[in-house]
Amino acid sequence: MAVEPIKIAVIGDGGVGKSACTIRFVKNQFHEQYDPTIEQTYSTTVETEEFGSLPVEIIDTAGQDDYENFRSVSISYGQAFLLVFAITSHKTFEKMESMLVEAKEDAPKIVIGNKSDLSADRKVSVAEVEAWCKERGFKYFETSAKNNINVREAFVDLVQQAAKKRQHTRTGAKGSGAAATGGNG
């Protein structure tokens, strides 16, 4: 039986590196320029310790000044959300708050502070983000799509969270409560 892909929506302010992180993860490439208006979906497979090989679909959202567009596309699409800001712009960190309102409340989410290679130009402290994340129960990863730091770790963590949630939902949906898988460990 084919396993349904886990659907991840990558959201965040313009220019933070949503496309760069997505393409680093899917193709292991980095380009200096990406078309900021293109919204694209990628299919890939992710190896997880707990769930083996899982099909994953990623939507790299764009047009983030148009909230209607954002709302219609990524809300209906995403089962898990990657919230991206750039550590070099405090404004992009602040924007996550309003984006969060639009993301499905019970969907797994993680936060990426991208452009960690530009730490000399840092405008958001780790302590500040970690406090924000802790309040909401999100994990935080600092990444550099450019230098290939932590991008894979972040995506894989989110995929595992989503897979866990799906398993949990299914087990719960069986209803009888008796036949749920034991979970070996």
Ligand X SMILES: Nc1nc2c(ncn2[C@@H]2O[C@H](COP(=O)(O)OP(=O)(O)O)[C@@H](O)[C@H]2O)c(=O)[nH]1
Q: Which three-class secondary structure state does DSSP give residue 6?
A: strand
Distances (CA, A) of 92 to 100, 109, 145, 153, 168: 13, 17, 17, 22, 33
Among 8, 9, 11, 17, binds ligand X (CB under 6 A): 17
Residue 79 or 114: the one with the smaller Cβ distance to ligand X is: 114
Per-residue x/- mask for ligand X, residues 27 to 46, rule CB under 6 A? -----xxx-x----------
Q: Does 64 bind Mg ion (CB under 5 A)?
A: no
Q: Are 82 and 11 in contact (CB under 8 A)?
A: yes
Residue 117 or 130: the one with the smaller Cβ distance to ligand X is: 117
Q: Does 19 bind Mg ion (CB under 5 A)?
A: yes
Residue type, 156: V
Q: Does 109 bind ligand X (CB under 6 A)?
A: no
**CA angle, 75 as apex, 58 and 27 as ends, to 5°?**
10
Binding residues (CB under 6 A) for ligand X: these are 12, 14-20, 32-34, 36, 114-115, 117-118, 144-146
